[in-house]
Amino acid sequence: MTAIESIAATLATARDVAVVSHIIPDGDCLGSTLALALALRQRGTRAVAVNADPVPDMFQFLPGQETIIPPAKVEEIPSLLVMVDSTDMERAGEGFSQWRQKTKMVINIDHHVSNTRFGDLNLVDSRAAATAELIYTVLEKIPVSITPAIATCLYTALATDTGSFQYENCTATTMRLAARLMEQGADLSLIREYLWERKPLASIRLLAAVLPTLTLAYDGRVAWLTVSRATLDTIGALPEHAEGLVNYPRSIAGVEVGLLFRELPDGLVKVSLRSKKIVDVNAVAARFGGGGHRRAAGCTIRGDLDTVVTMVVAAAGEAL
């Protein structure tokens, strides 16, 4: 049996499932979580959707998003845990790997090259543009009917992880699936409004405040922006409002690596890394305990903003 078949067979007979994904949730994480939870519920399976962080405003249109609860609110840990879009168990939040001892089986569905294959059953394919592509193949095998609600969740995941179908990870398979999901009732007008036409004012004000920090090095091949706590506080912006800012340094002609540094509370700095054609930013992020994909990766580093910038820029320069 292939991994897809074993996973589909396990899900088809499961009674009680938790679908879990990573902190600071994005469209693929939420879309994949909800599509699977909705599909299982449709079959009468008890499925709880779990995320340690709240659903950002821009994703509050996703069907079923109101049913997502944090790990602490899960009264009884189900015997089957499905982790989606997560390289390892700790990506679901600090201490989450303890759930491993409290559950019978873990299924791991993901598309990150740096995935540690932590599951009892693993469906990991880094050629998939989004975890949602893999979720769709599993749903077809169970089988479940793809409702408009499920299609909306999966389409959102594809659109966000491919940067609106622009990035290198977007393949003919991705485009075919997007078309299929449109046919299956994905609510494009709702998706369009929430993802692209409803930006909070704070995120545009944050862009204005952060663009002056643009710095280039290595003959203009590395470029970065920094977001300090002070800037966030002055504007009243949330960390999620910085989402997408890393695309500005990367989009500059001649730049190979674009970076975004976000100062977090507790002396931590979150780094987003993007590349165009040459540098494997997954390998650069891995040097600092992070991971992701060849062209998009991230890590969180302890230290003050200036020190972290110096370290990561040097590592990016070495990788050129």
Give the span between the Cα atoms of 287 and 205, in whole angstroms.
Answer: 33
Position 87 contacts ligand 5GP (CB under 6 A): yes
Q: Which stretch binds ligand 5GP (CB under 6 A): 12-20, 147-155, 290-298, 304-312?
A: 290-298
Q: With contact defined as beta carbons under 8 Å apart, do 258 and 249 qualify?
A: yes
Among 25, 78, 119, 292, binds ligand 5GP (CB under 6 A): 292
Minimum distance, C-beta of residue 300 to ligand 5GP, in the bound complex (Å): 5
Residues β-bridged to residue 223: 216, 258
Tally Cβ neighbours within 10 Å of residue 33.
Answer: 32
Q: Which of Mn ion, ligand 5GP, none does 227 bind, CB closer than 5 to 8 A by kind? A: none
Closer to ligand 5GP by Cβ: residue 30 or 146: 30
Closest by CA to 7, choosing from 81, 76, 71, is 81
Q: Which of Mn ion, ligand 5GP, none does 308 bind, CB closer than 5 to 8 A by kind? A: none
Among 3, 7, 19, 29, binds Mn ion (CB under 5 A): 29
Give the span between the Cα atoms of 279 and 73, in whole angstroms.
Answer: 41
Among 26, 125, 243, 256, binds Mn ion (CB under 5 A): 26
Those residues whose C-beta lies under 8 Å from the C-beta of residue 173, and which sit 6 or more positions away, are 129, 133
Four-point Cα dihedral 175, 181, 186, 189, nearest 10: 20
Position 129 contacts ligand 5GP (CB under 6 A): no
Positive/negative CA dihedral, 60, 64, 67, 69 = negative
Q: Which of ligand 5GP, Mn ion, none does 14 bind, CB closer than 5 to 8 A by kind? A: none
Minimum distance, C-beta of residue 114 to ligand 5GP, in the bound complex (Å): 6
Residue type, 101: Q
Among 297, 312, 315, 319, binds ligand 5GP (CB under 6 A): 297
Minimum distance, C-beta of residue 202 to ligand 5GP, in the bound complex (Å): 19
Those residues whose C-beta lies under 8 Å from the C-beta of residue 61, and which sit 6 or more positions away, are 190, 191, 193, 194
**What residues make contact with Mn ion under the rule CB under 5 A?**
26, 28-29, 85, 131, 161
Q: Where on the chain is the footprint of ligand 5GP (CB under 6 A)?
A: 87, 112, 114, 272, 290-293, 296-300
